[in-house]
Structure 1
Amino acid sequence: MFHALSFTNIFFIYVVLIWFMFHSRLSDAHQEKHFLHYKFTVLTKADTFPEFSAVIVADGKRIKHFSDEERDWILTEDDWTEPPKDPPETRNWFIHQIRTLSNCTNSQCSELHVLQRIIGCELEKLPDGTVNLTVFDEYGFDGEDFISFNSDTMKWIDKNPKAKETKEEWDHQTERNQFLKYFLKTYMNWISTFNNTKQSSPDVHVSVRKAPDDDSKLVLTCLATGFYPRDVQMNIRLNRINLEDQTSPGIRPNDDETFQMRISVKINRNFKGSYDCLLIHSSLTEPASVKWDGRCSDCETDHTWIVIAGIAAAVALAVIVIITGYCIYKQKRSNGRCT
């Protein structure tokens, strides 16, 4: 989970922090998944960034964050009836751990080091109704995997030669490990409550425009936005049959912490049929279907120019007829030439 990085430049620390604060295990749109992650970052030297930073994220929503100024956890939103519990370890505990690993004394560290931790669980509901639950507690030190907790065996797994001493020490902390196991197992109940109370239904739109590279084709696009949680399944259909070669940039976040997804497909401009967008989401009691109304956003432009060109041609033809008729009339009157 933790990737090797260079810590000689502050830019790389910035990359590590951004990656760790926002990285999550992305869910598959064809299955329902939910997650609760506690993420921590601790630095030995913090010229630009806080010495300690932490955030709690559930299904892409930032629920709590640690305020370095107030030295306390702060709710990101104030409408949570039952926010997740604060983690068992305190800010001072994390700072003590990184100073121990870095061999720093009296907070004087000549080198830059970083300790990262992600603890939480992931809940996956399969199509057959079964539920898989994964709990984890993993640490990284200086950008490498360091140590992780196995809640089944109640033992720590050292993933780095430098972690052997830490493993021996933490394995003997039975009271802390028992509490950690209980803490991990309570995540499932919290996620179930969170999933049932924090839902938002999608707003679905279907639009069509000209294909930029083929006059015989149109591009039909389906946009679903404002939905929560993240997982969604969406398809464009012709006569209730899913079309092939659909493209999508994937699920994207909105500014209000909901999500959006856009899919597109090329269709035959002259083919007649019933096109619709079918969307499945946990906030809906049944799949939503939105039909294409047959209109094209920029096809009217072509029609307008055709009409204008037709009118111009008719006017030109009328002018030619008038001039020709006038010439014939003059010739008959004067037996001369039309000039």
Structure 2
Amino acid sequence: MCEKHNVYYRFTVLNTADQFPPFSAVGVCDDREFAHYSNEVEDWIRVNVNKLDRTVLLPEPYDPRDWYKDLLRTLSNCTHSQCSDLHVLQRIIGCELEKLPDGTVNLTVFDEYGFDGEDFMSFNSDTMKWIDKNPKAKETKEEWDHDTGRNQFLKNYLKDCVNTISTYNNTNMSRPDVFVFALKAAPDDQNKLNLTCLATGFYPRDVQMNIRLSKTNLEDQTSGIRPNDDETFQMRISVKIDRNYKGSYDCLLIHSSLTEPVTVVWDGKCSNCEPEPQWDVIGGAVTGVVLTVLTVIVIVIYFIYRGRRPNVCILKQRNHLLIKDA
């Protein structure tokens, strides 16, 4: 399984803002916010961090809020009082770690700037030089290339990303809950089922799941992953199967929060299927109904016959009397 992790800070600065704050910044690790800058208290606030965790996360870049505002004014060629047009400065600094199935690790570090929606500059930690991506960036590049203290700090700072990813994931990972169920594939087809495996509540995001038949991965599986409200994730995979085929279906899940893979076996039930006919029960019920009907018919005939018989006797007596009188 290819496993990816990232940690970064993202900054956004506006020179004029009516509905949005002029300065905003967040710290993110594997798509989960762990810190944000509060303009009210003018400081960083940690969030989503385990209270028992004593590890030190990636510190915020040392550049203060006013440094970003001054840089934006310089790039905009105006002071705050003279700027009427909206200008935007953006920065993202951090790293991404990718673990390949063969055990090798790829590390990508980045410190990139954008100005008014376009790429501006990026830092190359190998050459210790800045790369200008915009004609307006040439002057800034020359100035920052000569700032050796700043560049050395950035190089060391970006290397710390690897340790941050490891410590943050180890203290904030969540184990998944896994469910396997089946639904009819089509309203008019009782034979085809959609067999689904759902895993939810896991963190980090990377997970591997497969629906199997007799421990062999099935083909044509559809999958999708999405975030939960609590910043964990859920993943759903489905595959069409023949309901009448007899075999052992299960769902295999691999995640970094687990010491070993989890296997959940399908119980063979369909949640929205009509119950299969129980012919022995139905046959017994039909037999009972027939016997009941026959019994009722016999009783009715009996009472009809019994009700008519006294009348016949009376007629015979009357005939006898008439003959005798004659």
Q: Per the shorter chain, which TM-score range? A: 0.7 to 0.9
* 1:115 matches 2:86: no
Report the alpha carbon displacement of residue 314 of structure 1 after superposing the two structures with TM.
Answer: 5.0
Aligned to 1:235: 210
* 1:286 matches 2:260: yes
Aligned to 1:157: 131
Aligned to 1:59: 30
| TM-aligned CA distance change 1:62 to 1:263, over 3 Å | same
Give the conservation status (yes or no) of the 8 Å contact 2:121–2:134: yes
**Structure 1 runs of 4+ off > 6 angstroms?**
none
Q: What are structure 2's unaligned runs of at least 5 residues?
A: 309-326
Aligned to 1:137: 111
* 1:94 matches 2:68: yes
Distance 1:55 1:107 in 2: 27
Give the conservation status (yes or no) of the 8 Å contact 1:124–1:133: yes
Distance 1:291 1:302 in 2: 21
Report the alpha carbon displacement of residue 215 of structure 1 after superposing the two structures with TM.
Answer: 2.7
Q: What are structure 1's unaligned runs of at least 5 residues?
A: 1-29, 335-339
Distance 1:181 1:49 in 2: 32
Distance 1:314 1:138 in 2: 79
- The Cα offsets for residues 36-58 of structure 1, whole Å up to 9 and x where unpaired, read as 01001111111000000000000
Question: Number of residues paired by the alignment?
Answer: 299
**Where do residues 1-339 of structure 1 align in structure 2 (5 Å cutoff)?**
30-77=1-48, 79=51, 80-81=53-54, 82-212=56-186, 214-248=189-223, 250-299=224-273, 301-303=274-276
Q: Which amino acid aligns with 1:203?
A: D
- The Cα offsets for residues 52-77 of structure 1, whole Å up to 9 and x where unpaired, read as 00000001211000001111111113
Q: State the secondary structure of the residue aligned to 1:189.
A: helix
Q: Which amino acid aligns with 1:104?
A: C
Distance 1:225 1:77 in 2: 18
| TM-aligned CA distance change 1:227 to 1:106, over 3 Å | closer
Report the alpha carbon displacement of residue 195 of structure 1 after superposing the two structures with TM.
Answer: 2.5
Q: State the secondary structure of the residue aligned to 2:17.
A: coil
Report the alpha carbon displacement of residue 181 of structure 1 after superposing the two structures with TM.
Answer: 1.0
Report the alpha carbon displacement of residue 133 of structure 1 after superposing the two structures with TM.
Answer: 0.9
Distance 1:64 1:261 in 2: 26
Give the conservation status (yes or no) of the 8 Å contact 1:99–1:107: no
Distance 1:76 1:109 in 2: 35
- The Cα offsets for residues 290-337 of structure 1, whole Å up to 9 and x where unpaired, read as 1001121122x4448x89xx69x959x859x66x968x969x979xxx
Distance 2:155 2:239 in 1: 48
User: Identical aligned pairs, as a percentage?
Assistant: 66
Q: Which amino acid aligns with 2:44?
A: W
Report the alpha carbon displacement of residue 246 of structure 1 after superposing the two structures with TM.
Answer: 0.7
Give the conservation status (yes or no) of the 8 Å contact 2:213–2:250: yes
Aligned to 2:318: none
Give the conservation status (yes or no) of the 8 Å contact 1:63–1:83: no
Q: RMSD over aligned Cα, in angstroms?
A: 2.8
Q: Which amino acid aligns with 2:242?
A: N
If you compute each CA radius of gyration, which structure gives the higher value, 1 or 2? 2
